[in-house]
Amino acid sequence: MIRFHHCRTCGCVTHFSPVDPARDRMGINARMLDPPALADARLRHVDGAGSESYIGE
C-alpha cells in the first residue's frame, strides 16, 4: 500500500511513498519537473507483477 502526496497549491500528485516504513520504494511525478532536470535522469523499471525486481534500465 502507498500514500499519495499532493501539492498544497495546485492539488497535483507530487510523489508517493510506502505506508510501511520498512519498504524501500517511492516515486515522483516527473511531469512536475522542469525538462532540463530530466535530461540526464536514469530510469529503472520494476516488475510490479510480483517479484518487484528491476527488469531493465
Can you give the length of the chain in residues? 57
Task: Assess whether pLDDT exceeds 80 at residue 53.
Answer: no
Question: Phi and psi dihedrals of 38, rounded to 5?
Answer: -90, -10
Contact, 30 vs 17, CB < 8 A?
no
Residue 3 bridge partners (DSSP): 17
pTM for the model stands at 0.63
Instruction: Tell me what pLDDT residue 56 has.
Output: 64
pLDDT category at 57 given cuts 50, 70, 90 is low
Tell me the residue ranges of DSSP E strands in 1-57.
2-6, 13-18, 27-28, 45-46, 54-56
* Predicted confidence (pLDDT) per residue in 1-48, tens digit: 899 999 999 999 999 999 998 888 888 998 888 899 888 888 777 776
Question: Phi and psi dihedrals of 16, rounded to 5?
Answer: -130, 155
pLDDT category at 52 given cuts 50, 70, 90 is low
